[in-house]
Structure 1
Amino acid sequence: MNRGRKLGSLPVRIRYFILLAVVCGSSFISMMYRNMDLTLFMNPPIDTSGQYPHTTDTDKRFTIRTEGCSMPFLHLFDVSVQPFVEYPKNLKPCRDQKVSLLKHNKSKITINMENLHYYNITDRRLLFCCYQAFYRPNTIDDITSSSIDSRVKYNKCIYFTTSINRPMAEEFVKVTCYFNKSRVYQQFYLSAPEKIGSNIKREVMTNETTFNVLILGIDAVSRLNFYRTMPKTASFLKDYGAIDFLGYNKVGDNTFPNLIPLLLGNRDSELKDKCLPNSKATFDNCPFVWEWFKEAGYYTAFAEDSSSLGMFNFVKAGFIRTPTDYYTHTFITQAERYAGYNKDFNSFLCMNDYYFYKVLLDYIVNLTNTLKNSKLFGFIWEVTMSHDHLNYPMVMDDDYLDFFKKLKDTNYLDKTVLFLMSDHGIRWGSIRSTKQGRLEERLPFMFIMVPPSFREAFPKAYSNLKFNSRRLTTPFDIHATLMDLVDLGTINNSMVSKRSKEAYARNRSISLFLPIPSNRTCKMADIDDHWCTCLKNIALHNESSEAKRAATHVLSHLNDLVSDYSVCARLSLVRVIEIAELEAGRPDENETGWKEYMVVLQTSPGDGVFEATVRYDSEGWKLSGTVSRLNLYGEQSRCVHDYHLKLYCYCI
């Protein structure tokens, strides 16, 4: 064989295969190095230095290894999940922004005359647009109870034929364009003007130890899926010194039961006695954390990019009073109704030619610029892109990176404590049927970034924050952390030392500025065994007696839940898909021997797939926590409006 033979002289077929091998090989090597770097960031070397060593166990089989909790190590691209990870090829894009009929900046909206032909506008003299500001009225006259939170009032149309100056004080705007009296285009515009009035008296930034607090959420993204789908954003967080909480464990099934502990310090089941007496009650009497910050002189903001899936509006009554100084629910409701485009399962992805998540990111930048000299507490939650699809967050990575760069370039991150987090991992789909997918669903991502001035002013609190990144943590702990951020005097060195000696260790809510004890278990943290990721399990046969009895108990529970609703079918067992015995630790002193099982079963009608944890003891079978649904119910439960029952009801 002539070793010096040139590639061009080889047969075409051989040249093709050589070229393919080179391309694939280089792509694989590139991916391998990129993943190696991410894996190192995801699982940083165990730090045994400092006052509170993370652990003395360097066993790489565990992400967390403490006396009270051992979480198994999960590989970023484990063979069981790798087949489900790919760029979303079937995602429908928004309408093309390049052909938009309107151009806009902060102060002006202009008709783009170059694009008239896209809308079959042949005579510009017959084209005009209606500019309408709208707002959420303070009174609720003539508003039905079902739409109190979504109430809206529009100002009169201001017509224009070329451009219009937008008053800076107008927060929500709708523009509708007509040609020959027929509507041809409609778009909405959101801004964050400074609000001044007798009811709003907020303090300005006074010194270097005053910090904004921003909580930014991306719905339904596990810690590992964040690294898989948003690596550029993850890299920025790494470079900026963000702390990655490896043991952040959810405490409930979906968004609501995981964010109520964060915002109120309670379980959702405890709200009935505290502030939510019935299913039709609004949330106005609930003591949310933003009330503390408001009293401390902060502006407050609460924004979501979905109205239909809003955490306080999805089959819930929402608010009568406007809960925060800046509240976008009215805007998003109108934008979904009149400009919602590209609905994908549960939500519209687009506001005409603009992704809803980008509307949210731009709004935060606008808000931080407006309030750059004032204190701000913001709770901002993205839903539309991430809620229903494992890989859709890939689409957002560049935009989130640009967003963080903007905050950095304006020096906003230098005076802000920022939480970037999720509520849970993806709760359905093929990945959820894998063992790793089950664990990922229970382990959302959570990062905390604090500026250098915070680290210098509160060194012990910051040291504990890093230390707790390898402890079992929950949304309850974020609630306690926010309490400390309202009053920074609670986390100076002397106070942290004093509080660390107090009997706080068994509380379910522990500030992340205090050291979380090594012996903390799921029970101590008030995590039901069903959601606990610290438990080992032993697989059993699907036809075993334990499988049949556990499945029968879960099925009976489901039928009891819907028994009062004649519109819901009675469910029957199709098969047991999986069962495992859980190593749940030692029983309490007042408990006799018991065993716990995780069971996955399929029911009929509707082919619902459910996962539950059940316990068997001397008193028989009982459920531990709630029952998870692993596949989408879609329109199957359209006849019920209780957000719990929607998981289980098959409408007749």
Structure 2
Amino acid sequence: MKFCFIFSMTKSGGRPRSVPIRLRYFFLFATVFGGGLLLISFNSRIDFFLLNNGPSNAFWDANHYKIVNSEESFTINTEGCTIPGLRPFDESIRKFSDLPDSAEVCNNANQSLLQNNKTHIWVITENMQYYNVPDEDNITCCYRAFYRPAAIADINANDVDERIQYGRCIDFSDYIEIENEFVKVSCKYKYRIIYEQFFLTARKKSPVFFTEDSMETEQNISRYNVLIMGIDAVSRLNFYRTMPKTLNYLKKKGAIEFLGYNKVGDNTFPNLTPMLLGIKYTDLKNTCWPNSRASFDHCPFIWNWYKDVGYYTAFGEDNAGLGTFNYGKLGFTGTPTDYYIHTFMYESELHVGNQKDFNTYICIGDKYLYKVLLDYIEGLTVELKSDNFFGFFWEATMTHDYLHYPKIMDDDYEIFLENLDNNKYLDQTILILLSDHGIRWGDIRFTKQGRLEERLPLFHILLPPSFRETYSLAYNNMKTNRRRLTTPFDVHATLLDLINLNELDNERIKRRSNEYYASDRSISLFLPIPTNRTCKTAEIADHWCTCHKSHRVPTDSIEGQEAALHLEQHLNKLLHDYPQCAQLQVTEIIEMIQMDAGTPDQGEVGWEEFMVVVRTKPGGAVFEATLRHDYDEWVLAGTVSRLNLYGEQSRCVHHYQLKLYCYCQ
């Protein structure tokens, strides 16, 4: 064993060019250990790091003074799927990770006239000066609760999920107790409204009860809460780049990260449908959602299964306009879960929504919407701590359109997890943090790594220590599966397992491991995912599959010209019934890639597959598609992705898919 001492000292803010991190009196002790490098740092605490590949393959985490291992040569490397190794700060995408943050600050963020906690709202008298109110004068504030009324027969179908009803006004001038879940407060001075804000507070509702069947099935079984928190459009590695504090906290607690989690559709809706219902979004038509003008009330969502066995249920998103089941759709006529905050988000965005960045409002009044959602979730965990709880929550306001905005949320997500931990809530909760896909547009999407990242969203599961001990075989299987090909269908199967924990005892897991097939589309993550699983058996369309090997083809090749022409024809066919949309013409073939799809199955005719990226006019849209070439026929494999934002170009159509393609004339 060899020893060496390394000493480094820089003042706060100093940055040696060779070390991309701010250090304050940083001491490092290093030793060669087992062929790797063991680093021990003394910086207010002792940290140990073992770098199997030596320091050249490591990168610095500037927020926690840690060295994080780079991924190995392969992200996953199994018989059925090989995904190349990806590094968060690879040279090809480093320039995108260094861009500055540019998110706007909420209106009057430091000049709020009202403050609140979980029980009260009060006037901040020292801030009255910002609203031209003399210290000796009083203001009058009106507290009004609002809620989602019961559906009535003659309600406008287009507004079925946006119905609002207000209660009476209760005046106060200093403070008031919060007695309702959704509250609007308007403050007046000399008969003029000078301030308005909305407040969302978790309140304990009437208890839910077990059904007779569930009582027989689940008696004497200790249940765990299930808390699913989604962050829109964040790839696994962009989570590393933008939310390192949250990542490190999860790793410290022993969360399992799934490196081969592959999306199965383009945007949020086709990726959450398999997770929440266990079916493809295209199957909804024959199941429960005949068309986009129907509601989702009759769909078999996973939270209904939990409610049937006595759980409180919640579904909440931090925006209304981009709601998963509202964007270009009707949403819900009834209330889908015990706690449903779409009503609050819609009304607050309508009145005090501000800092709209492309598709979403970032703030309501002086509060970030993502922070409103986090506070509400934390409040629910406190209110329902003695009850079983299933919650599905989705953040999109900060992450939907920008690669770097997740940085702004990192501190708050870390604090949120710390609070859950300090309240012992994580001891009784299965916590799932995931995304639907990576960023779908922008310059990074024109790189090979950006294309792969877009298809490989973040996915972490944190299991309580008692679960790991009681269901040790299921836990060990899940750890093995972190380097297997997985999908949202598997998440659904996993959530079903958590309803009946009898399915997870060691003996049952052993038997079940011999009862399923590698060709199954949905496999619980508590069972061993087969090493020979492919995109085909997992029902991942070729366009989204990250297991392919590929090579570039000249853009001026015959294949390139034919593929571009077929794509152009396909797009115009989609737009045929919408005369308000211009016919598109390919003006440039940006990239042409031929994929190695493997050896054809027995009896299958050989074919070639290409991914093509084109630019069209009018509008300069950039599209990416995978096309299969069989003799003289070209067939589209999957849907067509758009790599740049459409903004107002598609304002004349309201179909959630055609907005990607339409250029309004």
How big is each residue's C-alpha offset from its partner over 1:8-47, in whole Å with a ceiling of 9 and x where there is no partner?
xxxxxxxxxx99996545545869443799774564xxxx
Matched residue of 2:648: which SS?
coil
Other-structure match for 1:192: 202
CA 1:199 to 1:417, structure 2 compared with 1: closer, same or farther past 3 Å?
A: closer
Aligned to 1:258: 271
* Local SS of the residue matching 1:537: strand
Number of residue pairs matched by the alignment: 617
CA contact (8 A) 1:126 1:180 kept: no
Aligned to 2:186: 176
1:30-69 alignment, distance < 5 Å:
32-34=59-61, 40=68, 43=71, 60-69=72-81
Measure how far apart 1:61 and its partner are: 2.5
Give the corresponding residue for 1:439. Answer: 452
Query: Which residue, out of 359, 373, 383, partners 1:346?
Result: 359
Separation (CA, whole Å) in 1 of partners of 2:193 and 2:457? 44
Which of 236, 246, 255 matches 1:242? Answer: 255
Whole-Å separation in 2 of the counterparts to 1:87 and 1:615: 37
Could you tell me which of 334, 337, 343 is aligned with 1:330? 343
Give the AA of the match of 1:361.
L
- Distance in 1 (alpha carbons) for counterparts of 2:12 and 2:659: 53
Note closer, same or farther for the CA distance 1:130–1:200 as it changes in structure 2 (3 Å cut): farther
Please give the secondary structure, in 2, of the residue aligned with 1:99: coil
1:324-473 aligned within 5 A? 324-473=337-486
1:347-381 per-residue CA deviation (whole Å, 9 max, x = no partner) reads 11111111000001100110000000000000010
Which residue of structure 2 lines up, in the alignment, with residue 56 of structure 1? none
Match of 1:109 among 121, 127, 130: 121
Tell me the equivalent position of 2:151.
Answer: 139
Query: 1:155-211, CA deviations, whole angstroms, 9 ceiling, x for partnerless residues?
Result: 0111122222222xx110000011111111011111111111688999999978420
Q: Given the alignment, which residue of 269, 278, 281 partners 2:294?
A: 281
User: Does 2:174 match 1:162?
Assistant: yes
2:510 to 477, 497, 515: 497
Instruction: Indicate the SS of the match to 2:649.
Output: coil
1:200 and 1:87 map into 2 onto residues whose CA distance is 52
Matched letter for residue 190 of structure 2? N
Partner of 2:647, secondary structure, is: coil
| Aligned residue number for residue 560 of structure 1 | 573
| Letter of the 1:232 counterpart | K
Candidates 556, 577, 590, aligned match of 2:603? 590
- For the residues of structure 2 that align with 1:99 and 1:454, how far apart are their CA atoms? 46
> How has the CA–CA distance of structure 1 residues 158 and 41 changed in structure 2, closer, same or farther, with 3 Å as cutoff?
farther
Tell me by how many angstroms 1:516 deviates. Answer: 0.6
- How far did 1:523 drift? 0.3
Structure 1 CA distance, aligned partners of 2:466 and 2:498?
Answer: 14
CA contact (8 A) 2:106 2:365 kept: yes
Worse overlay, 291-300 or 137-146? 137-146
Is 1:545 equivalent to 2:558 in the alignment?
yes
C-alpha contact 1:38 1:231 (8 A) present in aligned 2: no
Cα distance change of structure 1 residues 561 and 102 upon mapping to structure 2, 3 Å threshold: same
Contact 1:87/1:394 (<8 A) preserved: no
Deviations 1:245-281 (A, max 9, x none): 0000000000000000000011111100011111200
Identity %, equivalent residues: 53
What CA distance in whole angstroms lies between the structure 1 residues aligned with 2:641 and 2:67? 30
TM-score (norm 1): 0.91
Q: 2:359·2:401 contact (CA, 8 Å) conserved in 1? A: yes
Contact 2:138–2:173 (CA under 8 A) maintained in structure 1: no
- Secondary structure of 1:470's counterpart equals coil
- The 1-side partners of 2:353 and 2:379 are apart by 22
> Aligned partners of 1:323, 1:517: CA distance in 2, in Å?
35
> What CA distance in whole angstroms lies between the structure 1 residues aligned with 2:207 and 2:626?
53
What whole-Å deviation, never above 9, does each CA across 1:213-249 have from its counterpart, x for those lacking one? 0110000000000000000111101100000000000
Question: Which amino acid letter does the alignment assign opposite residue 237 of structure 2?
Answer: L
CA contact (8 A) 1:209 1:457 kept: no
The residue type equivalent to 2:335 in the other structure is T
1:82 and 2:89 equivalent? Answer: no
Say if 2:101 and 2:405, in contact at 8 Å, map to a contact too. Answer: no
Work out whether 1:527 is the aligned partner of 2:540: yes
CA–CA distance in structure 1, aligned partners of residues 459 and 407 of structure 2: 18
Task: Identify if the C-alpha distance between structure 1 residues 200 and 165 changes in structure 2 by more than 3 Å, giving closer, same or farther.
Answer: farther
Match of 2:618 among 605, 611, 632: 605
Alignment partner, residue 652 of structure 2: 639
Going from structure 1 to structure 2, the CA distance change for 1:39 and 1:280 (only over 3 Å counts) comes to: farther
Amino acid at match of 1:369: V
CA distance in structure 2 between the partners assigned to 1:281 and 1:42 by the alignment: 47
> Secondary structure, in 3 states, of the residue corresponding to 2:105?
coil
**Corresponding residue of 2:283:** 270
Match of 1:233? Answer: 246
Gaps of 5+ in 1: 1-17, 44-59
- Residue 415 of structure 1 deviates from its aligned partner by 0.4
- TM-score normalized with structure 2 length: 0.89
Q: Any conservation in 2 of the 1:208–1:415 contact (CA below 8 Å)? A: no
Q: Is the 8 A contact 1:63 1:74 kept in 2?
A: yes
Question: For the residues of structure 2 that align with 1:464 and 1:256, how far apart are their CA atoms?
Answer: 29
Q: CA deviation at 1:503?
A: 3.2
2:140 alignment partner in structure 1 = 128
CA 1:353–1:206 in 2, change beyond 3 Å: closer, same or farther?
farther
1:339 deviation in Å?
A: 1.3
Give the Cα separation in 2 of the matches to 1:402 and 1:351: 21
Q: 1:236 to 1:181 in 2, by over 3 A?
A: same
State how far apart, in whole Å, the 2-side matches of 1:322 and 1:483 are: 22
Whichever residue aligns with residue 69 of structure 1, its letter is: C
The CA distance in 1 between the partners of 2:605 and 2:449, in whole Å, is: 32
| AA in 1 matched with 2:173 | T
Greater share of residues in strand: 2
CA drift of 1:526 comes to 0.3
Distance 2:517 2:128 in 1: 66
Q: 1:39 to 1:468 in 2, by over 3 A?
A: farther
Question: Residues 536 and 368 (structure 1 numbering): CA distance in 2 closer, same or farther, change over 3 Å?
Answer: same
- 1:70 equivalent in alignment to 2:82: yes
CA-CA distance at 1:588 after TM superposition: 2.3
Where does structure 2 lack aligned partners over 5 or more consecutive residues?
Answer: 1-10, 24-57
Gap change, CA 1:220 and 1:279, over 3 Å in 2: same
1:272 alignment partner AA: K
Tell me the distance in 2 between the aligned counterparts of 1:499 and 1:514.
Answer: 8
Contact conserved, 2:210 with 2:309, CA < 8 A, in 1? no
CA offsets 1:63-84 (integer angstroms, 9 cap, x no match):
1111000000012111111111
The answer as to whether partners of 2:128 and 2:134 remain within 8 angstroms in 1 is yes
CA distance in 1, matches of 2:489, 2:390: 18
Call closer, same or farther: CA 1:198–1:261 in 2, change over 3 Å.
closer
Counterpart code for 1:257: P
In structure 1, give the amino acid aligned to 2:61.
R
State which drifts further: 556-565 or 139-148.
Answer: 139-148
Partner in structure 2 of residue 48 of structure 1: none
Which one is further off, 201-210 or 23-32?
201-210
Distance 1:379 1:255 in 2: 14
Cα distance change on mapping 1:292 and 1:208 into 2, 3 Å: closer
Letter in 2 for 1:502: E
Question: Would the aligned equivalents of 1:387 and 1:426 in 2 still touch at CA under 8 Å?
Answer: yes
Q: Secondary structure at the match of 1:373?
A: coil
